[in-house]
Amino acid sequence: MANIQEKIAKLFPEAVCEQFDTLQVTIPDSRWHDLAVALKEDPDLCYDYLITIVGMDWKTSMGCVYYMMSTTRGNDVIAVKVLATGDREMPMIHSVYDVWAVATLYEREVYDFFGIVFVNNPDMRRLFLNIDWIGYPLRKDYNDDPNINPATTRSERQSDFTQSWVEEPDGRIVKTEPRIFAEDDFVVNIGPQHPSTHGVLRFRTAVDGETIKKIDVYMGYIHRGVEKLSEKLTYQQTLPFMDRLDYFSAHNYHHGLCRLIERAAGITISRRAEVIRVMMDELSRIASHCLFMGTFCMDLGATSMLFYTLRVREQILDIMERTCGARMTFNYDCIGGVMQDLDSNFQQDVKDLLAVIPANIKEYNKVFVGNVIAKQRMEGIGHLSKEDAIAYGVTGPSGRASGWSCDLRKIRPYSIYPELEFDEVLATEGDAMARFKVRLEEIVQSARILEQLVDNIPEGEYCVKVPKVLKLPVGHWWEMVEGCRGVFGLYLESDGSTQPYRLKIAPPCLPAAGVVDHITRGMKIADLIAIGGSLDYIIPDMDR
């Protein structure tokens, strides 16, 4: 860490380095773009994966905290804090869309929530809210009177133009309005109500015959404002929202937020709770991948696969139900451990599950993977190279199918994962077939983890005593866990009260949707279904 600090201080004397849970560099906006280029290009730094951009409103000032990770050099994380210039009417920061490709999308999100304009970003539209939305909801002085922005049945105003603020050579900032599509493009609308978009996502697709020229991903049809809601609740009350983002990774997301709050509050949990949490994480990973296979194959026309895969999923849901009391939205992990002890039959149930998994995997391979039609629909479709996966921040099984070793359980192990024996599943093809196979293989690996743990659940208390209303010290924290679909990041800032000052959720599905435009270009419309399905995004997760 120290040499990175020295290196940055040498290159940028005006940068201020502080050590929190990660190294944080504060830099004025005028030097930010240069720092970003150095962070990415310099062989000693090489922070090539931008995890998220956290927009912030500190009341007196506004700004952003960028979190990035180096994939080649030990996977360490660095934070960069940039204060916006200009007044609250129009705060501005220079864009880094040309450094990390995924920044285009993240900056749009920050603009939508905070009204911070990113200079030079070619597409500065709102992301989740309507064009005519009044105010920026995550600002602290936002007026949430429902009469200002009512829910209306009036059709949303659409525009063919985006907006962009460009810096001229003489330093003036000029607003331009470029077109989203070319004037003679033929644009087809896919979604938001479409059976194979996996929820309410909309693609505005410019086509040339059947070939896709460009896709404008239009989201926000299930944007529920979880981050703003969390600011009015106590820490314990924010937990149930984690169930409802990516409802397949409910346990994993809970695990992440609990770890974050426990670390901030200095709570140590028992080993028993730790083991239970990891077992639940892995069970939900199997259940999630099972459902992925079912729905993905259904999209491709193989409806029967859904019945095969849901059989295992139902078995897992039964195990969870006996312990957590629900089939979905478990709300099981809590601050200090888990909500209640394991069901007395839990171990036997898991053993029964592990006994049937190998036969099922064999069956899935037989029914679908070797199928000629499936091969033709999936092989070589939607190729994503490793460099692009990193640039667009596509993590999880989709990233690993492109050869990017991005499994946090391996590269930044947390909880009890360092003690466990399992392989990180990697593929090099980067196509839809590889993404499918990686998930299939991950089921086997998760089963391996469960096998090691099922007979080794230590005795002890399942939850330590934690005050009903928790107060965190002033500060900010960063945490990442591996959800079923990739890196799930959480940023928490506390002002010392009982409620979070800011809770930023960095979901894995947002970048997965952001890369759709890039990998579908030149493909056929029918392939869009295979590609979208294989990326396996969950819309409530990306919209939050």
Partner 1 sequence: MEVTTKSMPYEAWKDNEYIENLVKELQESGTNVIVGQFDKLINWGRSNSIWPLTFATSCCGIEFVSLGAARFDMARFGWEVARSSPRQADFMMVAGTIVHRMVPVFRRLYDQLAEPKYVIACGSCAISGGPFRNSYHVAKGIEDIVPVDVFVPGCPPRPEAMIYGIMQLSRKIKVERFFGGVNRQQSQEQFLREHPVEGLDVE
From 36, 127, 291, 492, residue interacting with partner 1 (rule: CB under 8 A): 291
Q: Whole-number minimum distance, CB 72 to partner 1, in Å?
A: 38
Q: Whole-number minimum distance, CB 300 to partner 1, in Å?
A: 15
Cα separation, 520 vs 513, whole angstroms: 11
Residues with Cβ within 8 Å of 230's Cβ and at least 6 positions away in sequence, in order, are 238, 241, 500, 503
Segment lying near partner 1 (by CB under 8 A), choices 63-71, 140-148, 264-272, 433-441: 140-148
Segment lying near partner 1 (by CB under 8 A), choices 22-30, 69-77, 287-295, 523-531: 287-295
**What residue type is 466 in one-letter code?**
V
Which two three-digit tokens encode residue 143?
């007026």
From 55, 115, 137, 514, residue interacting with partner 1 (rule: CB under 8 A): 137
- Nearer to partner 1 (CB atom), residue 325 or residue 458: 325
Angle at 488 between CA 192 and CA 94, to 5 degrees: 80
> Does residue 64 contact residue 115 with C-beta atoms inside 8 Å?
no
* 192 prior amide bond cis, ω within 30: yes
Q: Whole-number minimum distance, CB 192 to partner 1, in Å?
A: 6
From 3, 60, 147, 152, residue interacting with partner 1 (rule: CB under 8 A): 152
Asked if residue 154 binds partner 1 (CB under 8 A), the reply is: yes
Q: Whole-number minimum distance, CB 196 to partner 1, in Å?
A: 9
- Nearer to partner 1 (CB atom), residue 86 or residue 199: 199
Cα separation, 493 vs 55, whole angstroms: 12
Q: Whole-number minimum distance, CB 230 to partner 1, in Å?
A: 11
User: In angstroms, what CA-CA distances link 496 with 476, 499, 501, 525?
Assistant: 10, 8, 9, 52
From 178, 195, 467, 475, residue interacting with partner 1 (rule: CB under 8 A): 195
Cα separation, 150 vs 133, whole angstroms: 10
Strand partners, 273: none
- Nearer to partner 1 (CB atom), residue 14 or residue 318: 318
Asked if residue 88 binds partner 1 (CB under 8 A), the reply is: no
Residues 95-134 that bind partner 1 (CB under 8 A): 128-130
- Nearer to partner 1 (CB atom), residue 226 or residue 265: 226
Asked if residue 181 binds partner 1 (CB under 8 A), the reply is: no
Residues 523-542 that bind partner 1 (CB under 8 A): 539-540
Asked if residue 166 binds partner 1 (CB under 8 A), the reply is: no
Q: How far is CA 103 from the centre of its chain?
A: 14
Q: Is the dihedral of CA 31, 35, 37, 42 positive or negative?
A: positive
- Which of 196, 211, 300 lies closest to 524 in space, CA to CA? 211
Count the residues of the shown chain that bind partner 1, applying the rule CB under 8 A: 50
Residues 388-417, one symbol each (x = binds partner 1 by CB under 8 A, - = not), give ------------------------------
**What residue type is 536 in one-letter code?**
D
Taking residue 360's Cβ as centre, other Cβ atoms within 10 Å add up to 17
Residues with Cβ within 8 Å of 517's Cβ and at least 6 positions away in sequence, in order, are 214, 215, 216, 217
Cα separation, 211 vs 205, whole angstroms: 10
Residues 426-445, one symbol each (x = binds partner 1 by CB under 8 A, - = not), give --------------------
Residues 300-339 that bind partner 1 (CB under 8 A): 306-307, 310-311, 313-314, 327-329
Residues 221-260, one symbol each (x = binds partner 1 by CB under 8 A, - = not), give xxxxxx-xx--x-------xx-xx--xx------------
> Does residue 302 contact residue 374 with C-beta atoms inside 8 Å?
yes
Cα separation, 48 vs 45, whole angstroms: 9
Q: Whole-number minimum distance, CB 508 to partner 1, in Å?
A: 17
Which two three-digit tokens encode residue 87?
């007044």
Asked if residue 28 binds partner 1 (CB under 8 A), the reply is: no
From 199, 371, 464, 524, residue interacting with partner 1 (rule: CB under 8 A): 199
Give the CA count within 13 Å in the CB-facing half-sphere of 107.
26
From 10, 13, 43, 151, residue interacting with partner 1 (rule: CB under 8 A): 151
**What residue type is 145 in one-letter code?**
D
Rg, C-alpha atoms of the chain:
23
From 85, 149, 211, 234, residue interacting with partner 1 (rule: CB under 8 A): 149
Residues that bind partner 1 (CB under 8 A): 128-130, 137, 142, 144, 146, 149, 151-156, 192-195, 199-200, 220-226, 228-229, 232, 240-241, 243-244, 247-248, 291, 294-295, 306-307, 310-311, 313-314, 327-329, 539-540
